[in-house]
Structure 1
Amino acid sequence: MILANKYRPKSFDEIVGQDHVGDILLNSIKRNKVHHAYIFCGPSGVGKTTTARIFAYSLSSFLNSQDGEDQCDEVARKILEDDSPDYIEIDAASNRGIDEIRHLKEDIRYKPIENKYKFVVIDEAHGLTGTAAEALLKMIEEPPGHVIFILCTTEVGKLKQTLFSRCISLRFHLATPTIIQGRLKQICDSENIEIESDAALGIARGCNGNVRLAIQYLETLAQASSGDDVISPKEVESVLNIFDRSKISALFELIYERKMGESILYINDMITSGFDAHDILEMLVEYLRNLLICRTCKNVNSIIILSDKEKEIIKKDLSRFSFNFLLENMTYLREVNGNLVNNFSPQTAFDNYILKSILYLEHNHEQKKDK
């Protein structure tokens, strides 16, 4: 079985990084204060449709048990197994027209077969056409008493504003790298997959808060390895093309030593290896940000997440680069961004950045000599 499906959460406790949502929904079930319509908004892969399914299962199981029905959990569990006639999930990215909504309107006229409620989950709800969205709004304004609507969206700004006054809106957060790293470690322990801590952190950073994508990355790495090998940061970089961000310090090492040619070749190798220029820019900005935070803040661990290796590298670079250099470097990177936006070649944009950085250090060095 695909790991993302095998380890898909089946309870609120298993949902990664969305405790606030789980608490709200669980309390509404226990207090019998369930609303007839919800909007789940947030980035892809953070658990919106999974939470909708768990909410439907939990509510159905709770209500069935309150009525003393036999096999109450078994009936409700069909929702988790995608085998319940009372759970309807529509992908509005591909089923977005008025005909689908009319068909849905006909479906919800009938009472649920096995549970107390019929659940309608519309994924990518922002994809509905104008007429379909109007028809859906009408259904939510005058809902049958046995239906609960859950609209999931990654682009909340595209939903009709009138929906928000009729639905409870819950915002899902991106999972932090630390949380994703912990989840990957749990899966690796269960699957007997050996992985280095820094490699798991690299995956967690590379998926940009998307838990599902992180698990897919892990599975790709597990399939690429021989089975006995330990997954290292090197494999993460070569297989997934996720750059080991600690290596950005190698570029700053070359800049510090004023090695213009080698610095240019280093960036060129990154570009020819398939790394997007904007991704390289983002990594440089992130590294400078980490240096500035470590130099100016006391409680660093609550702001940025660093491996032991990265902490040592940061410590070394802080002794090399002045605060003024770091601030000036941020300005140079802003120029790189502007050049990329104006369709400069990536290599030319970064060459200019490297030249300015080295000239700044050279000028600063000369001033110190004069004193």
Structure 2
Amino acid sequence: MAESLTTHLVLARKWRPERFSELVGQEHVTRTLSEALKRGRIAHAFLFTGIRGVGKTTAARILARCLNCEKGPTAEPCGQCAACVEIRGGRSLDVSEIDGATYRKIEDARAIIENLSYRPARDRFKIYIIDEAHQLTDSAFNALLKTLEEPPPHVKFILATTEPQKMPETILSRLQRYDFRRIPYATILERLKDLARREGLEADETALRLLAREAGGSMRDAERMLETAMATASASGKVTEAEVASSLGVASRTTVLKLADAILEKNAAGALAHVRELKSRGANLESLGRDLLETFRNLAVAKLPASDADSPLDDIPDHEVSELKRLAAGASSRDIMRLFRLMADSQEQILRSPYPDLLLEMAVVRMASLAAVIDADELLRAIGSDKTAVPPTSGTPPAPSGGGSS
């Protein structure tokens, strides 16, 4: 009997945005593209740039649907016509997705050029989406140069890359460029909460906050880590901060704050014990150094007067902000800034060293052993207050007595 198999789709594919309105964190791009589609001012070649996982390829597929939808070109593809369904499934004959890392030679570029003269099989445009376009060879770029400048009216190019600086200026000048930004922490957190709700997943908010922070602005990384957290959830099916920290090999926020507290309290032995415990649990020490550096930054911000301007503390839970303010109250701004500089210098060495554990251990011991900084003016005032007052004198001192004159 044939065994039935269930195909599992990861979250990034299962809940991939279908419209520009669903692509979060890149409103500056989606708004411009939507207006261009509404006004019929559609370029012939686009360049989408940005770090990994911020929606470049997803935006390219949405744009392809907008261009080839039966109701299009439109900023709101129907999602029901044959073109929309096939492009979403990667089966469209008129939309070709090319991996620039694999098909990077001049022969591959010539194959594209030879096919340009043929009309689309069914849809309005023949669209080429070239991912990781910076990996094309110089000869391949040269072959595409004239084509990207003046393609046939039925052809559109969408190039995506994480490293536009590696592409020739002659190519960049022929493309309409859109820069995709790192997705804000708060936006990633809201997306993770939404995905957890859709999947029926019970997750602590602290766990989702840790995932959003570790994503580093990449929505795909955040969704991948949430997928891992779901697979390693406890028997109760609930995702907790401790489990997420363990699966990612990072320290929880509570642990990092305890380490910072030990340093501020000049408890070198306690600080060292925290680092060694995290190391024994398999924590990523480079990540721990970054987290500690960020904590000192937050402590410095916590010392500042309240302001209506955006603050790094706005994205932090209230209970964590309260703990940061408590820790900051017991230290001077100069001491916190000095700890930040020392940790920043140590982090640079940790990232380059084959012995990051030893460097981090000695860094926290050194920071916890520092004497407090005294301001020069305060020191002078303290010295001045200890001086004994000297009474004023008038006139010249009497001359020493000696023998009489003759």
Provide TM-score, normalisation by structure 1. 0.90
Q: Name 2:286's counterpart in structure 1.
A: 278
Q: Name 2:131's counterpart in structure 1.
A: 123
1:74 is aligned, of 82, 101, 105, to: 82
2:152 is aligned, of 144, 147, 156, to: 144
**What is the CA-CA distance between 1:74 and the residue it aligns to?**
3.1
Distance 1:24 1:6, change over 3 A: same
**What is the CA-CA distance between 1:333 and the residue it aligns to?**
1.6
Q: Contact 1:36–1:148 at 8 Å: present in 2 too?
A: yes
Q: Name 2:141's counterpart in structure 1.
A: 133
Whole-angstrom CA distance in 2 between matches of 1:199 and 1:351 = 27
Q: Contact 2:335–2:373 at 8 Å: present in 1 too?
A: no
**What is the CA-CA distance between 1:341 and the residue it aligns to?**
6.2
Q: Contact 1:65–1:72 at 8 Å: present in 2 too?
A: no
Distance 1:240 1:350, change over 3 A: closer
Distance 1:101 1:227, change over 3 A: farther
Where do 1:1-371 residues align within 5 Å?
Answer: 1-61=9-69, 64=72, 73-226=81-234, 228-296=236-304, 298-299=306-307, 302-304=310-312, 305-340=315-350, 343=353, 345-361=355-371
Q: Contact 2:250–2:288 at 8 Å: present in 1 too?
A: no
Distance 1:224 1:277, change over 3 A: closer
Distance 1:241 1:358, change over 3 A: closer
Which structure is higher in RCO with an 8 Å CA cutoff and minimum separation 6?
Answer: 1
**What is the CA-CA distance between 1:299 and the residue it aligns to?**
3.6
Whole-angstrom CA distance in 2 between matches of 1:335 and 1:91 = 39
Whole-angstrom CA distance in 2 between matches of 1:60 and 1:342 = 49
Distance 1:171 1:342, change over 3 A: closer
Structure 1 residues 192-222: Cα deviation after superposition (integer angstroms, max 9, x where no partner): 1001111111101111111112112112211
Q: Contact 2:269–2:365 at 8 Å: present in 1 too?
A: no
**What is the CA-CA distance between 1:43 and the residue it aligns to?**
0.5
Q: Which has the larger radius of gyration?
A: 2
Whole-angstrom CA distance in 2 between matches of 1:31 and 1:212 = 32
Structure 1 residues 207-241: Cα deviation after superposition (integer angstroms, max 9, x where no partner): 11111121121122112225643211111111222
Distance 1:137 1:63, change over 3 A: farther
Distance 1:299 1:227, change over 3 A: farther
Q: Contact 1:64–1:72 at 8 Å: present in 2 too?
A: no
Gaps of at least 5 residues in structure 1 are none
1:296 match: secondary structure: coil
1:212 match: secondary structure: helix
2:81 match: secondary structure: helix
1:201 match: secondary structure: helix
2:130 match: secondary structure: strand
Whole-angstrom CA distance in 2 between matches of 1:112 and 1:135 = 22
Gaps of at least 5 residues in structure 2 are 1-8, 387-406
Whole-angstrom CA distance in 2 between matches of 1:131 and 1:178 = 43
Q: Contact 1:65–1:73 at 8 Å: present in 2 too?
A: no
Provide TM-score, normalisation by structure 2. 0.83
More helix by share: 1
Q: Contact 1:28–1:34 at 8 Å: present in 2 too?
A: yes
Whole-angstrom CA distance in 2 between matches of 1:222 and 1:342 = 33
Q: After the TM superposition, which parts of structure 1 deviate over 6 Å for at least 4 consecutive aligned residues?
A: none
Structure 1 residues 92-133: Cα deviation after superposition (integer angstroms, max 9, x where no partner): 112211121111112222111221111101000000111111
2:198 match: secondary structure: helix
Quick check: 18-27 or 241-250, which moved more? 241-250
Quick check: 243-252 or 103-112, which moved more? 243-252
1:78 match: secondary structure: helix
Q: CA RMSD in A?
A: 2.6
Percent identity (aligned): 30
